[in-house]
Amino acid sequence: MSAPKPNPLPLSTPFPPAVRRAPVGTREKPLPLIIDCDPGHDDAMAITIAVARPEINLLGVTTVAGNATLPRTFENARRVLALLGVPDMPIAAGADRPLVRPLFTAAYVHGESGLEGAEMPAPAGRVHEAGAVDLIATLVAASPEPVVLAPLGPLTNIAQFITAHPELLSKIAHISWMGGAIGEGNVTAAAEFNAYVDPEAIQIVFSSGIPCTMVGLDVTHLARMGDAEVARLEQLGNRAGKIFAELLRYFAIFHRDRYNWNFCAIHDAVAVAHLVDPDLVAVVHAAVDAELGDLQRGRTVVDWLEPRLVERGRLANADVAVGIDAPRFANLLIDAVATFD
């Protein structure tokens, strides 16, 4: 696989180009994928890409408390499955709080329901009553191929799966996580939401030995849907386009009021799009650690400088996203929505 073309980097730092370690699905060999999420407007768009694209074989969806409480993220995920016409998709609810800390939610971003802005269909999905960790274990054990995990919320469920099922870790091909940041924060100046909510879970996941990609705010803040893109969704003329246009118009309110931006950032969709398009996101190899203190709780410390890693005796344990072809991303997202009724 050719090294991705280093896209215009959003940061001033000239990162060394690095060949991605995340696998890419193809039509001939779709990637078996499990999405763990906290819908969440951008989670909903990420699930849409996974269902729409032939390069992905979505095995199941698990939900975690994050953007909203667990009952709400679980219900929202099931409504998204109904909208996408996959009512038999296995789905399970997971952790209703982080590993250690009290739950912190984001009604100020996504609304009280967690998916405000549109009339969604009634919930669907084949509910796995034994819970998220058991569903992930069941799907991974049954898969003939190693499975990719795409966590799009706090890493609580993934950390609990890793702790409970060490015998299955060799069947996890990669973890593509939307979370963290090199130099940005959206809850505090230091921390991105998914990392802030459960920083302890990050340490478990990133020290597990499973190859990881961290798709942080440095790149997802460039994954934009503005008025023109939302209008393109509406002009698709299908129900999915209409509903996602309504959802993004609501999601844009937070971005306008908080940042004075005239677009919304579709964070989670990048972590899934990275698995279908090898030329979308540029990465750097780095060591990632989570800050557990109070002042910088949830900050992801990303050390990408090879000589410094050697001096510290650290190995680069992750790919970290450092660039994205933003127009390509918007087209990929809109084309995915276009495939639905």
**Which does residue 340 touch among ligand RIB, Ca ion, none (CB within 5 to 8 A, set by kind)?**
none
Shortest Å distance, C-beta 110 to Ca ion: 9
Q: Considering the complex, what minimum distance in angstroms separates the CB of residue 176 from ligand RIB? A: 12
Complex with ligand RIB: residue 58 or 264, whichever CB lies closer:
264
Of 152 and 248, CB closest to Ca ion = 152
128, 267, 274, 285: the active-site residue? 267
125: which DSSP letter? S
Shortest separation between residue 95's beta carbon and ligand RIB, angstroms? 14
Question: Would the CA dihedral through 108, 114, 115, 116 be positive or negative?
Answer: negative
Q: Is 267 considered catalytic here?
A: yes
Tell me phi and psi for residue 294, to 5 degrees. Answer: -85, -50
Q: Which letter, b or e, does each residue of 138-160 get, where b requires 16 or more Cβ atoms within 10 Å of its Cβ?
A: bbbeebeeebbbbbbbbbbbbbb
Residue 291 CA to residue 203 CA, distance in Å, equals 9
Minimum CB separation of residue 194 from ligand RIB in Å reads 5
Query: What are the helix and strand counts (H, E) for the chain?
Result: 13, 12
User: 3-state secondary structure string, 161-227?
Assistant: HHHHCHHHHHHEEEEEEECCCCCCCCCCCCCCHHHHHCHHHHHHHHCCCCCEEEECHHHHCCCEEEH
Binding partner selected for residue 289 from ligand RIB, Ca ion, none, CB under the kind-specific 5 to 8 Å limit = none
Nearer to Ca ion among residue 190 and residue 195 (C-beta): 195
- Shortest separation between residue 120's beta carbon and Ca ion, angstroms: 17
Q: Least CB distance from residue 17 to ligand RIB, whole Å?
A: 26
Q: Which is nearer to Ca ion, 94 or 278 (CB)?
A: 94
Residues that bind Ca ion (CB under 5 A): 38, 40, 43, 152-153, 268
116 binds, among ligand RIB, Ca ion, none (CB under 5 to 8 A by kind): none
Judged by CB, which is closer to Ca ion: 214, or 316? Answer: 214
Binding site for ligand RIB (CB under 6 A): 38, 40, 42-43, 66-67, 152-153, 178, 186, 192-194, 267-268
DSSP assignment of 273-309: HTTT-TTTEEEEEEEEEE--SSTTTT-EEEE--HHHH
The HSE-up count of residue 78 (CA atoms within 13 Å, CB side) is: 17
Q: Burial letters for 295-331: b for 16+ Cβ neighbours within 10 Å, e otherwise?
A: ebbbbbebbbbeeebeeeeeebbbbbbbbbbbeebbe
Mutual angle of helices 70-83 and 41-52, in 10-degree steps: 40
Residue 220 or 317: which CB sits closer to Ca ion?
A: 220
Question: Catalytic amino acids?
Answer: 267
